[in-house]
Homo-oligomer: A and B are copies of this chain.
Amino acid sequence: MARFMVSVTSVFWTAIVPGGRQVRVRILKFGGTSLAGIDRIESAADRVLETLQAGVHPLVVVAAMAGVTDQLLALGRQLHHDPPAEELDRLLATGEMQTASLLAIALRHRGVSARSFSGSEAGLLTDGNFGRARLRHLNSSPVTAALAASEIPVVAGFQGATDDGRVTTLGRGGSDLSAVALGVAHAADRIVMLRNVEGVRSADPRMLPLSYRLERLDYQSMIDLAHAGAPLIHPQALEMARAHQIAFELRGMGSHSDSTRVAADCGAAIPPVWMVMLSNPVSVISIDSLPHDVPMIARVMRLLDRTDLKLDGAVQKTDSRSGLAMNIMLPDLEGPVLLEQLQDYLREERQISFQLERRQRRVTLVGRGVTSRRVQLAIDAVAQRLGPPMVSFSGPRHRAFMVGDREGRDWLASLHQELIGR
């Protein structure tokens, strides 16, 4: 985080505003689903108003309406197989500028003095790495002036600008980075992430009503969750918040939504395994007897890299007898499409065999205890009853494996009861 510096003037300001009045600033960050449509923008404005009425000065950061960034990206890609990154950034940045203006308009309708800012106008300065720029500096003066004038700044997230004013974007989930950077610069008391669901739960309540909300989590848990495939907060934003000791609060859009607080001081209270997830149906393509040489792996990887299909992951296994094997997971409907692409691409390699298993589910456990003997015993006990998982893969703090569609919910409930339930 050494590259992210907060300008001295902004740090000075956040302690004392003109006249010596102390102002507590709070970041409210709205995701794309929370802003998709007029009704949700109205709700977002209501949440901002409540914060203001609670005596805290809101500084709002918005994502683009859900789907808009993808639509713009698709337009750009229809015009150019590899659109120039700088123009693409200019194009994509309009999505957040629109929601920022719309939310500012909704706030003005509530009698609140609000003003929208592009990332560039809000002083978020980045390097020139278009499409995935890194924040370098925050020139907070325009937003500072708005706060000092008792205006509510509504900042377009996900975007910044180079020193010479060229628009950049921060990559997927970049609005989280905007929120933390502004929170650091303006000494916010916390960063409230408003989402279409309530706080973080131990499992999806639609699948497991017995699941419970986690009232407190630490930064590391959320980083673990991102690595496990559920980036509720951008990992880099988490690192930045941890470095500056700013807490997050994840809450739903309802007026009295329950929330989860993410901060540094509660590691001990978190269960060793605190979440279990069940994926949507996925296809698993198994490739066996791949010649075990680097060019072959590179060829397959190149195809996977080039395809428009959205892959969930790929696992390699070496087998001394039969060479290399590989499992590729992707959304269920796209399995047959990729299988055909692979078979066509590798049609000269006659020794390779392909297999497609459809309607599989990925079960993922998250927590510092996933590698413990207790977890292994619990998995073995369920496997005894429901059959062994098909493919397993894990990181230091998450563990995932594929199971059949019909057994998915049973796996979820059994592991939750054994390892997480209280």
Contacts and interface: CB of A to CB of B under 8 A. Distances in A.
Given A80-B109, A97-B90, A108-B80, A102 B116 contact: no
A164 to B, nearest CB: 11
Interface in A47-85: 72, 75-76, 78-81, 83-84
Contact of A108 (B38, B84, B109, B165): B84
A100 B100 CA distance: 21
Contact of A94 (B83, B97, B108): B97
Given A90-B116, A116-B87, A80 B105 contact: yes
A13 to B, nearest CB: 21
Contacts of A41: 79
Report how many copies the assembly holds.
2
Contact of A38 (B79, B87, B98, B109): B79
B91 A98 contact: yes
A79 B105 contact: yes
B90 A106 contact: no
A176 interface: no
Contacts of A100: 90
A87 B109 contact: no
A88 interface: yes
Interface string A267-296: 000000000000000000000000000000
Top 3 nearest A-B pairs by Cβ distance? A91-B101, A80-B109, A94-B94
